[in-house]
Structure 1
């Protein structure tokens, strides 16, 4: 904050601005993520390098991935993988792999190309889930496929972040270094599984004995932040550590007890992460790598449509439902922001512009998915109801 504005006043005004934008996003039906990033861009000169904002955002993103991890105990991860893995791997190839090759073709180095691929990889879970609910499409045939893809991406994205963090150290990233990185990830994951099956096996009973809600919040945040911090200590991403911390507690019987305790803190702190990201996007020098930006935007849309068209039938969907599903998964958002946090300089600006543009394009395609599908396959024929009286 500026020296003449007390930090407490600045923090209060920022929270009021976040509240207003969150309220506005509901009214205009626009994802709050986009508005928070734009707020950060507008206030960049005031909030630049603000440690309090950065720390609040770090806690917010740790809690986001902690809550995501709660949804995936080891058995559920295995069950999802059996059905979705062919389509999930196709998604990795199209959205991450091919985008990475495009970036290499434009002359970027390996790290920058992987970063661009990572940013273009994951569909925004928050935007997609909200639109599915708002447009009453939860019962559609393609929705289960879409949610399974989102879950698969939720698992892969933290690993991508961990690899990028390992590569960003500046040292030469050899095959040996990659092997050590995978070893660290495996060790951290194994530790989470062992702790989940032993120490946290009866955690639900212990949690029930804590009557004070404040102490529960402190305990659960302590677990999430500690495991996220352990990941950082090992040279990995705090996002991966937080996800694994959630997976540890997913072994308890009723995860809603944990979720209800942590949700308020996540909702309070998560917007500050997106605001902080916005402050790091400097638009003063125009649009960097405009050709690459347009190419990646076009391909990232085509990649998700192809994922639906090819991956949907692999999952058991009709061609119509597959196309509609692909058109509905083009938004990028919170995961792209997390991955873009590793970027610097022109790549950071590139990432910010891409994320905002991809979110808007994805929302438009979601709204038009049914109409575009009908243009390709024709309007669905309504089945006539048989009103004959049985035996008549």
Structure 2
């Protein structure tokens, strides 16, 4: 009875603190992720008030948080959207991966952490925060801008790449060897391809099977199906997160919209618990030794993300102002950088990876909204003038006259 009371007090205190921190972040106009991480640092080992009784429950909640984050991402896109993005925007995805994953891998090797940690840190520096970026685009009124589809395409490709990256990382962290790792990757790619095929051809039938007018029953079916598939995927050494992502892709139309509305509060709750859990397992005293590498890595990958967005927007025929806006918007890292680092920390690959990832995300989740707002004005001041509107390349989405309209802040939804 006493332990139950202590658990309720601890977990209730965590949730109350998260709610108050979320309010504070909303009033200050930035993402609550850094505050959630700081709360975890305060309640974890080496912090101000370590928690013991509720840690196991928080760990389970954190796993559910990762699953819901990936499910909600899958609900944002249809299988046809993903196929279309792969066909038209894959060069931008390749440039994004090369420019932003390599600095992380190089940093890990320079620190002497080995190849497995290098692959993990490459993922941490590669993936932008879809949640933070979507929030920033809405707050700045840029959802209708002509560079926004370019930004969203890059984010979609990053999300899709996780279906390949996570199984590879999981196999390497498990130390299964090349042969077993190849089998794991083959299974993951086969399952992903099969789900995409079924979603394209039979998506309506799947959605009709899941659909129900009663929100309670819809919630139970979607959540139960997601957890079931995630568990099976985890048992096959594929990744529970990938399984959840594929379930989201398979659902479409009104079902996807209804599930998104029902699951959003649960996603926000368990995602917040996940960030706290990551902070709980990071000793604050471990951060100062890796602060300089984190700052250097943040500086380098801020530049590489801006270059990525600029290049992708230029390729799409967007004018100079839109290119700088696209680059500055992509800077934020957040939830999935922590997910990747959490997998590596749980596997015990490199003790310093967790503190470095925490410091890195704290820096860029704060810098990201600032970069989105000020990259274009700073670039305009430094250059003194803009060049002529870009001439569209053969595969560009816009014509040159359309690109000229991009000098306006908002041109309406496309």
User: d(CA) in 2 for partners of 1:206 and 1:157?
Assistant: 27
Counting only pairs closer than 5 Å after superposition, residues 252-263 of structure 1 correspond to structure 2 as 254-263=255-264
Structure 1 partner of 2:318: 317
SS at structure 2 position matched to 1:47:
coil
Cα drift, residue 139 of structure 1:
2.6
Instruction: Spell out the pairing of 1:73-152 with structure 2 (5 A cutoff).
Output: 73-152=78-157
Q: In structure 2, what is the Cα distance between the partners aligned to 1:33 and 1:134?
A: 17
What SS does structure 2 have at the residue aligned with 1:342? helix
> Against the structure 1 CA distance between its residues 99 and 285, is the aligned structure 2 distance closer, same or farther, given a 3 Å change threshold?
closer
Cα distance between partner residues in 1 of 2:144 and 2:194: 38
Q: Relative to structure 1, is the Cα distance of residues 311 and 241 closer, same or farther in structure 2, using a 3 angstrom cutoff?
A: same
- Show the counterpart of 1:386: none
Superposition deviation, residue 92 in structure 1: 0.5
2:35 matched residue in structure 1 = 35
Q: Does 1:66 align with 2:68?
A: no
1:83–1:315 CA contact under 8 A, matched in 2: no
1:158, distance to aligned residue in structure 2 (A): 4.1
Q: Which moved more, 1:282-291 or 1:138-147?
A: 282-291
Give the Cα–Cα distance (whole angstroms) in 1 for the partners of residues 324 and 372 of structure 2: 11
Deviation of 1:335 (Å)? 1.0
> Greater CA deviation, 146-155 or 358-367?
358-367
Post-superposition shift, 1:232? 0.7
Q: Any stretches of 5+ residues in structure 2 without a counterpart? A: 346-350, 388-403, 406-414
The aligned counterpart of 1:238 is: 240
1:157–1:187 distance in 2 versus 1, CA, 3 Å: closer
Give the Cα–Cα distance (whole angstroms) in 2 for the partners of residues 7 and 212 of structure 1.
34
Deviations 1:79-106 (A, max 9, x none): 1122211111100011013431343234
1:9 Cα offset (Å): 2.4
8 Å CA contact 1:87–1:315 kept in 2: the answer is no
Does residue 183 (structure 1) correspond to residue 186 (structure 2)? The answer is: yes
Q: Could you tell me how far apart the structure 1 residues matched to 2:210 and 2:4 are? A: 45
Aligned twin of 1:47: 51
In the alignment, is the contact (CA less than 8 A) between 1:324 and 1:373 conserved in 2? Answer: no
Normalised by the size of structure 1, how large is the TM-score? 0.88
Distance 1:269 1:53 in 2: 9
Count of residue pairs the alignment pairs up: 378
Task: Measure the CA separation in 2 of the matches of 1:264 and 1:135.
Answer: 23
Q: Deviations over 1:21-46 (max 9, x none)?
A: 11111101120111111111111143
Q: Aligned pair in 2 of structure 1 residues 367, 108: CA closer, same or farther (>3 Å)?
A: same
Deviation string 1:33-79 (CA, Å, 9 cap, x unpaired) is: 11111111111143358111111121122112112112232211111
What corresponds to 1:165 in structure 2?
170
**1:372 paired residue number:** 378
Partner of 2:343, secondary structure, is coil
Distance in 1 between the 2:166 and 2:192 partners? 15
Aligned twin of 2:249: 247
2:195 corresponds to: 192
Match status 1:352 vs 2:358: yes
Instruction: Quote the residue 2:215 is aligned against.
Output: 213
2:336 equivalent in structure 1 = 335
Q: What is the rounded CA distance, in whole Å, between the counterparts of 1:244 and 1:288 in structure 2?
A: 39
- Report the alpha carbon displacement of residue 287 of structure 1 after superposing the two structures with TM: 2.8
- Residue of 206, 217, 225 corresponding to 2:227: 225
For each residue in 1:142-199, what CA deviation from the matched residue of structure 2 results, as whole angstroms up to 9, or x when unmatched? 222111111111111343222211111134x32x344212211123214424654687
Secondary structure in 1 matching 2:306: helix
Whole-Å Cα distance in 2 between the matches of residues 364 and 307 of structure 1?
18
Work out whether residues 331 and 359 of structure 1, in 8 Å CA contact, stay in contact via their aligned partners in 2: yes
Looking at structure 1, the residues matched to 298 and 144 of structure 2 have their Cα atoms a distance apart, in angstroms, of: 30
Q: Secondary structure at the match of 1:274?
A: helix
Unmatched 5+ stretches in structure 1: 384-392
Report deviation, 1:233. Answer: 0.3
| Residue 111 of structure 1: how far off its partner (Å) | 0.5
